[in-house]
Amino acid sequence: MENKEEQYNFYAMLDRMQYIQRWGLMRNTRTENLKEHSFDVAVIAHSLALIHNRILKLDPVDPFLTMGEALYHDVSEIITGDMPTPIKYKNKELKTAYKEVEAQAAENLLALLPDELKVDYSDMLLPDLSDEKRKEVHRLVKAADRLSAFIKCLMEEKAYNDEFRSAKESIEESIHQLNCEEAEYYLAHFVPPYGMTLDEISK
């Protein structure tokens, strides 16, 4: 009897990101899934790295590493689901416990890869933040995640959904608290066209 080739489930699991709905406690005019969110964060994070390098002319970071970490930044939620922010950050103990659950979920996902690929994906799913360069990449990804959430709130508000009003205000404040020049540049120069009509954007 012919032996089957060994199979690995990692990418099939990633495909399930489309079934994880975000903002579960909020009334949405348009639902957003984890796969969509991850793409948005990757695009924004890549742009923040370019702003960092080209416009602010700071010590360079790798824009493709930044984009890669952003693309995978929430993959643990395939296993854990999307925990609402008010619960996730309710207190220090719960936040710490959830971080441990996320790390274990990431390990479970890495186990679905051949050994030869684990080290590459481990750098995306479990970045080494003791390295200053890697920490800088992580900082930009965090800012991109916040910006993506702010844009979601902005789009809901433009659709006359007041449900996201207070979330928009608190997320905008949290972005400012990051003291991230790259994020402030993105807010000032790239966020205003969101919500414009196609004709307006095309001008």
Q: What whole-number distance in Å separates Cα of residue 182 and Cα of residue 146?
A: 12
Q: What whole-number distance in Å separates Cα of residue 107 and Cα of residue 151?
A: 31
Mean of pLDDT values over 111-118: 96
Please, what is the end-to-end C-alpha distance for the chain in angstroms?
Answer: 64
Q: What is the largest CA-CA distance in the chain?
A: 64
Name the residue with tokens 């742009």.
47
The pLDDT score that the predictor gives to residue 55 is 98
Selection from 22, 5, 41 nearest residue 144 by Cα: 41
Instruction: Map out the domains of the chain with their CATH numbers.
Output: 10-192 (1.10.3210.10)
Model confidence pLDDT, tens digit, residues 166-190: 999 999 999 999 999 999 999 999 9
Model confidence pLDDT, tens digit, residues 7-25: 999 999 999 999 999 998 8
Q: Is residue 187 within a helix (H) or strand (E), and if so which, with residue range?
A: helix 181-189
Torsions phi, psi for 74 (to 5 deg): -120, 15
Please tell me whether residue 33 adopts helix, strand or coil conformation.
Answer: strand
CA atoms within 13 A on the CB side of 161: 16
Mean of pLDDT values over 24-44: 95
The pLDDT score that the predictor gives to residue 1 is 44
